[in-house]
Structure 1
């Protein structure tokens, strides 16, 4: 086994020195909390913009008709396809004989509109394009190219709804957003309008006529049609051209075609047939403005309106790009989550089988006494249970309580218990790493077990924890930490996290020989290995992760004993949970950065660096940072997509995680009943962990040295009845 030369054991923490003057901690915390909330708000905003501006339709279908039309004036029904209800007058316009107006709905489309325009330009034929605000905002350059080519632009609403079924405020919103998109895309507005799902004036009913009157009040000239080619049915190019040819011959017509909403290749081919045919028959092509007798129905906008439109179109463009990135990240996160679950189950099963073979086969046993070090600072509520559980151990132990300058009667209480083999060491407050080092230096034995003062051991824990030391290559062993206060929803969520997240992960890391953390609640060390690794360090806030990585780099093996059970006190409030996980996350980032050079080292250090550190970065930093995308896009799908598909997809991810959790509970001999809280954990708990991790990352980037934050203790850890463990 390759080891580094022993380092000096004088690694007492540096006394706090002067620090740079910074903003008050509370203000800095508020700022770091604000940043992730702003990020979430930004993602939600771009999804909202993208959802509203891309929520499309299935293309044009049949026009409305067959409803009562008692209020539609006869001169409108029998009049021409262009209706002007602006002002106090009512006028309709017919297309002159031998005149055809080619109109195109639903664009602009990035594929088909340029092809339609190319045919029209080649034959020097004007077209009238009724565009939607959605498509205009998404493809402003195509709209500008239409205007540069001299084609006419009309409004076809923003999101293509049936206006006859919308309220007046909805109609006004559709028009305003479309005009805003036109202003931002090309600096124009238009007073020409075609209602979605409209047809000929003979198909008007009372509801549609009411909308037409309102459009007139808003200053719009409404265009209906004479002939519908039904090109959206894709009947063939020649059939489309025939349907667009005026009947009887010589009659003028407003013809409906489409340049978006689906595959329009037949429409493009039909234009190649139709335009030469009609020109050969003496027809001329015009715009709606020509029929109305107006110079133009489109006009430039003012500077203020132009910039408002540009901001709107830019927001749509940014949201589109952001959603594309988010979609890719979601695919990555989803793949990682599913792959992780599969890998965890496969490796956990292999680990369980290997552990069973070790337990049932011939093996050397470790029976020599062990020193147990318990660092304590103001732990009067917890220390009696902890020491009594250690004193009841079925393995010979020496118990060293290091009172790290407690301001309560922790040390006196520990001595008053009068337990056998318990030594209380009093020292000034110097931090947990220093207290642990003090305990190790006072230890009488070469194997040292470390646990937090709020942790309770089972009688068999110490004995099972030290058995892997029969292998001389093993420098440290991680035990199986469990939540000892599981009452309440928060306790159940943490219980699920400990069993599923922490201990299932440790099985995988154990097989891969790259365990990143020996939990402070239950871990054992060979004193020689600790000295090789430089003893416990105060360089990071995760001294347990730091020493584990240092042991890897010193060439020692790290093992996991899943049957060495310990019950620790988990935070009982969201505030306390936040503080704990903030410290854990920040400390883990510190430790990973401190030992980053392991990526380039050889032997066990290199194996840890090239396997353990990437796994840590991906599954403990990257994936949790991106995991909320699953929930955000689930909400997006419920609002703007197919709700059933969205629910099924989210439920599928949850089902995979539930399967993983159920298997983890099975391996640990735990009841499956707490898993009813798993869906709520995914909805609420995951978001809290995301915010904590983002705050920790921002703290690390900012370079602020986070002070140690001690949690409030309740002392309500209960040693549960021993489960019928499978000893796996």
Structure 2
């Protein structure tokens, strides 16, 4: 082994050291923690409000059939359709002869309620609208116009449940939320109510009667019906009008119709026939309040209730808008994810089948190569790394640049007494400076770079440098794999490396817009590095930065799938968070730094107009929105159709599984680790979402993230080489 004394490179070519970074300010640190929590709380609140205010009633349902009643007083069962049990009263009110009360359930509806109101107003006919809290909160303007026109308003609960099957607390909540919606929409409170699924008083059973008494104790006058038009069945406008006409002639009636819950066009047409017909027969139209003997059963609310209601209605409006926007974004994200999977599989298949001709008839690259290893406190890893390189079947020199290690890394590397290994010591200056030092001291024009925790196969270097037979190629990316995959976290990262990183690199290789040469396994032409300005410390992703700089300098970049390297992946969620946080933030820095490539020509322009958009869409935009899939899956499980939700989520998982299986096939990997894929989607993917979100917030906040070194375990081993498909 040779030890080369440290030389001071020419000052003009000396790479600058890492910039000094100030300690994180507490407010900014809190910003990066609090904002994601606030966003999460906002999304959860929006979905809860929207879910509760839209779930339940499906519309168009039959009335509840009565059961044998023994406790219903005869005076109630045989009485009129309006029942008053308030203040210990027990009385009913009938509709006078030649009098009709038109009642409408389940609204307000933005389409049909205004049309029904227009017909009523045209003929000067009052109507009684029994509204649900859900519809009122979603369409407050519709209800407000109904109230301003002088029509009567009654409560029909919030979500249209059968109250006889609900607990006392559920009933109280249904009533309170409905009154809150009425206060916010129209500034009123009403003591008139119709229970969902109720019909005539003679159909009351013991449970319904018990609920009627309880509602009376709360101050509600209950409205039942004389005639049910069954308009929700849509039997035709004439049939609806006939069913609403009192029989025998001259009899008074409370008539049930609907202004929501489905297509109510026949109801609208039936009113145009019914009202003139009854008016011609001498009937008059009135409200239920008049039957009770009062001017109105509606009263204005106080200031506190008014503003509480307005806040509630505003929350429902915001939630509805937000969920609509989220659903639209989900469609965009789902389309992008599906398109990406299809594109990756198609291009990866083409990449795997493509024969790589010897460019220009050049012979294989056999000349020696310099291997540069930056090392900082890598005592646990450096022996395995150096021994794997020493077994290389390609002639190499190895340069270990010890960047101010305090654990004896340099001494250990020297003590191994391996041939062709040179240890260079320098004060701690950062990884980019260490790489540049190694390149400047390299004896050969081809330089392989790898991390100190990475293990190479004997054939890796030889395979990695073959594309340099083409003089246009300035750099080559190898195939980095997870070398510590025995634990679950390692398996998840193994799936990610094989499926995500390497499938992506096949696509980028075909499109000539590779965004990143992995720091674990990459090769460079020294001339290309000089053209690109050497490795820069401007970003935290120096590998992405130099790759983009090489594109802008006009060099081609290739990917060699069978140039294998095994690297140590983080073994804890904390370490994984720190690594991916740095990667994500560094990638954003590099993309911003090289944004001008969008306007440049040649290879730089091709990368700028193809590589940068792909990077932004599939590594930033889509991952940021991908949590919508999981969030809406939870929303569907709680508030929607569970079977449909589960099938949709399984469909997304199946697409991911197909991509993963094909990627493993191309890399010659066993499919056994894919059993962890469902768990990866549930746990690991959420961590990646949060990491990317925090990185974006850091970038927006303008904070310069300091370098964060990971803890090493040194448990990377060189596994038996898989039967990698030659590509």
TM-score class, shorter-chain normalisation, is over 0.9
> Aligned-pair distance for 1:137?
0.2
Work out whether residues 376 and 403 of structure 1, in 8 Å CA contact, stay in contact via their aligned partners in 2. Answer: yes
Q: Paired residue for 1:4?
A: none
Aligned: 1:34 with 2:29: no
In structure 1, the residue corresponding to 2:485 is in which secondary structure? coil
> Aligned-pair distance for 1:13?
2.1
> Aligned-pair distance for 1:544?
0.3
> Aligned-pair distance for 1:487?
1.5
Work out whether residues 381 and 713 of structure 1, in 8 Å CA contact, stay in contact via their aligned partners in 2. Answer: yes
Work out whether residues 11 and 537 of structure 1, in 8 Å CA contact, stay in contact via their aligned partners in 2. Answer: no
Matches within 5 A, 1:647-662: 647-662=646-661
Q: Paired residue for 1:521?
A: 520
Work out whether residues 11 and 536 of structure 1, in 8 Å CA contact, stay in contact via their aligned partners in 2. Answer: no
Query: 1:670/1:363 Cα in 2 relative to 1: closer, same or farther (>3 Å)?
Result: farther
In structure 1, the residue corresponding to 2:13 is in which secondary structure? coil
Matches within 5 A, 1:194-273: 194-273=194-273
Q: Paired residue for 2:15?
A: 12
Query: 1:659/1:102 Cα in 2 relative to 1: closer, same or farther (>3 Å)?
Result: same
In structure 2, the residue corresponding to 1:87 is in which secondary structure? helix
Q: Paired residue for 2:388?
A: 389
Aligned: 1:345 with 2:345: yes
Alignment gaps of 5+ in structure 2: 1-10
Aligned: 1:633 with 2:632: yes
Q: Paired residue for 1:489?
A: 488
> Aligned-pair distance for 1:679?
0.9
Q: Paired residue for 2:417?
A: 418
In structure 2, the residue corresponding to 1:219 is in which secondary structure? coil
Q: Paired residue for 1:287?
A: 287
Q: Paired residue for 2:588?
A: 589
Work out whether residues 455 and 565 of structure 2, in 8 Å CA contact, stay in contact via their aligned partners in 1. Answer: yes
Work out whether residues 231 and 258 of structure 2, in 8 Å CA contact, stay in contact via their aligned partners in 1. Answer: yes
> Aligned-pair distance for 1:17?
4.9
Work out whether residues 53 and 316 of structure 2, in 8 Å CA contact, stay in contact via their aligned partners in 1. Answer: yes
In structure 1, the residue corresponding to 2:717 is in which secondary structure? coil
> Aligned-pair distance for 1:498?
0.3
How far, CA to CA, are the matches of 2:361 and 2:601 in structure 1?
33
Work out whether residues 64 and 204 of structure 1, in 8 Å CA contact, stay in contact via their aligned partners in 2. Answer: no
Query: 1:9/1:100 Cα in 2 relative to 1: closer, same or farther (>3 Å)?
Result: farther
Work out whether residues 180 and 309 of structure 2, in 8 Å CA contact, stay in contact via their aligned partners in 1. Answer: yes
How far, CA to CA, are the matches of 1:213 and 1:18 in structure 2?
72
How far, CA to CA, are the matches of 2:61 and 2:421 in structure 1?
85
How far, CA to CA, are the matches of 2:313 and 2:705 in structure 1?
43
In structure 2, the residue corresponding to 1:45 is in which secondary structure? helix
Aligned: 1:368 with 2:371: no
> Aligned-pair distance for 1:34?
2.4
Matches within 5 A, 1:7-406: 10=13, 12-14=15-17, 16-17=19-20, 23-24=25-26, 28-354=28-354, 356-358=355-357, 364-406=363-405
How far, CA to CA, are the matches of 1:15 and 1:567 in structure 2?
28
How far, CA to CA, are the matches of 1:378 and 1:22 in structure 2?
24
Query: 1:360/1:368 Cα in 2 relative to 1: closer, same or farther (>3 Å)?
Result: closer
Q: Paired residue for 1:708?
A: 707
> Aligned-pair distance for 1:88?
1.3
> Aligned-pair distance for 1:45?
1.3
Alignment gaps of 5+ in structure 1: 1-7
In structure 2, the residue corresponding to 1:310 is in which secondary structure? helix
> Aligned-pair distance for 1:156?
0.2
Query: 1:15/1:456 Cα in 2 relative to 1: closer, same or farther (>3 Å)?
Result: closer
Q: Paired residue for 1:608?
A: 607
How far, CA to CA, are the matches of 1:475 and 1:249 in structure 2?
96
In structure 2, the residue corresponding to 1:289 is in which secondary structure? helix
> Aligned-pair distance for 1:22?
5.8
Corresponding residue pairs, total? 718
In structure 2, the residue corresponding to 1:444 is in which secondary structure? coil
How far, CA to CA, are the matches of 1:22 and 1:481 in structure 2?
33
Work out whether residues 109 and 260 of structure 1, in 8 Å CA contact, stay in contact via their aligned partners in 2. Answer: yes
How far, CA to CA, are the matches of 1:156 and 1:106 in structure 2?
7
> Aligned-pair distance for 1:58?
2.8
How far, CA to CA, are the matches of 2:37 and 2:565 in structure 1?
36
How far, CA to CA, are the matches of 1:133 and 1:460 in structure 2?
71
Work out whether residues 597 and 608 of structure 2, in 8 Å CA contact, stay in contact via their aligned partners in 1. Answer: yes
> Aligned-pair distance for 1:38?
1.8
Q: Deviations over 1:157-215 (max 9, x none)?
A: 00000111111111110000000000000100100000001000011111111111111
Work out whether residues 542 and 584 of structure 1, in 8 Å CA contact, stay in contact via their aligned partners in 2. Answer: yes
In structure 2, the residue corresponding to 1:709 is in which secondary structure? coil
Q: Paired residue for 2:4?
A: none
Q: Paired residue for 2:569?
A: 570
How far, CA to CA, are the matches of 1:18 and 1:211 in structure 2?
69
Q: Paired residue for 2:3?
A: none
How far, CA to CA, are the matches of 2:230 and 2:308 in structure 1?
37
How far, CA to CA, are the matches of 1:172 and 1:206 in structure 2?
20
Work out whether residues 83 and 91 of structure 2, in 8 Å CA contact, stay in contact via their aligned partners in 1. Answer: yes
Q: Deviations over 1:359-395 (max 9, x none)?
A: 9998620000000000000000000000000000000
How far, CA to CA, are the matches of 2:123 and 2:371 in structure 1?
92
> Aligned-pair distance for 1:30?
4.2
Q: Paired residue for 1:5?
A: none
Q: Paired residue for 2:508?
A: 509
Query: 1:153/1:245 Cα in 2 relative to 1: closer, same or farther (>3 Å)?
Result: same
How far, CA to CA, are the matches of 1:280 and 1:379 in structure 2?
98
> Aligned-pair distance for 1:42?
1.2
Q: Deviations over 1:3-34 (max 9, x none)?
A: xxxxx972522464585x8624xx64343122
> Aligned-pair distance for 1:635?
0.7
Matches within 5 A, 1:540-579: 540-579=539-578
Work out whether residues 107 and 131 of structure 1, in 8 Å CA contact, stay in contact via their aligned partners in 2. Answer: yes
> Aligned-pair distance for 1:223?
0.1
How far, CA to CA, are the matches of 2:584 and 2:449 in structure 1?
21
How far, CA to CA, are the matches of 2:665 and 2:521 in structure 1?
21
In structure 1, the residue corresponding to 2:279 is in which secondary structure? helix
Query: 1:9/1:201 Cα in 2 relative to 1: closer, same or farther (>3 Å)?
Result: farther
More deviation in 34-43 or 456-465?
A: 34-43
Work out whether residues 108 and 260 of structure 2, in 8 Å CA contact, stay in contact via their aligned partners in 1. Answer: yes
Work out whether residues 9 and 534 of structure 1, in 8 Å CA contact, stay in contact via their aligned partners in 2. Answer: no
Indicate the RMSD between aligned Cα atoms, in angstroms. 1.5
In structure 2, the residue corresponding to 1:705 is in which secondary structure? coil
In structure 1, the residue corresponding to 2:86 is in which secondary structure? coil
Q: Deviations over 1:446-494 (max 9, x none)?
A: 0000000000000000000000000000000000000000011110110
How far, CA to CA, are the matches of 2:24 and 2:524 in structure 1?
39
In structure 1, the residue corresponding to 2:72 is in which secondary structure? coil
Work out whether residues 19 and 537 of structure 2, in 8 Å CA contact, stay in contact via their aligned partners in 1. Answer: no
